[in-house]
Amino acid sequence: MEPTRRQDDEWRTWRIFFAANRLLLERVERQLQSEAQMSHVHYEILVNLSEAPEHTLRMNRLAERSLCSRSRLTHAVDRLEKAGWVRRIACPTDGRGSFAELTDTGLNALETATPGHIAAVRSLFFQVLTPHQQESLREIGEAIVAHLTSGPMSPP
């Protein structure tokens, strides 16, 4: 059976979305590694902690916000702890749970990394899109996230 034009269009759309996503993330990762000596995953964890009340989140909540599996988050927080950027705190009401807290050193690392990261995202992403394209892409992203998470992403 020969594919229909619609199937061809869908496949081309998927392939270009995939390629754009991969290329963009690779470039952003490279910028953060070279300029701030941190991975994008670590940057996202630090951002999520910086936006949380008292710069602290329960580990399972941090995993959700950072779009990480719990095991990947645990490994990342281990590395961030070794760097002195995050501190783990046992949950006083649940012996199995723990919190991650952004340290002053981690906040400083985040503040140092952010200008270069913002400049890279602007030059690699926003400068090539019109305001209308940005709005459309935001709506598309919101629809996909809502579909995959059964609702909009929760705010910090």
Left (φ > 0), alpha (ψ -120 to 50) or beta: where does 4 sit? Answer: beta
The whole domain housing 115 covers 16-149
Average pLDDT over residues 116-142: 96
Residue 6 in any domain: the answer is no
Handedness of CA 46, 48, 50, 56 (dihedral sign): negative
Is 70 exceeded by the pLDDT of residue 20?
yes
* pLDDT tens digits along 81-120: 999 999 999 988 877 789 999 999 999 999 999 999 999 9
CATH number of the domain to which 115 belongs: 1.10.10.10
- pLDDT given for residue 5 in this prediction: 75
Residue 29 in any domain: the answer is yes
Percent of the chain residues topping a pLDDT of 90: 79
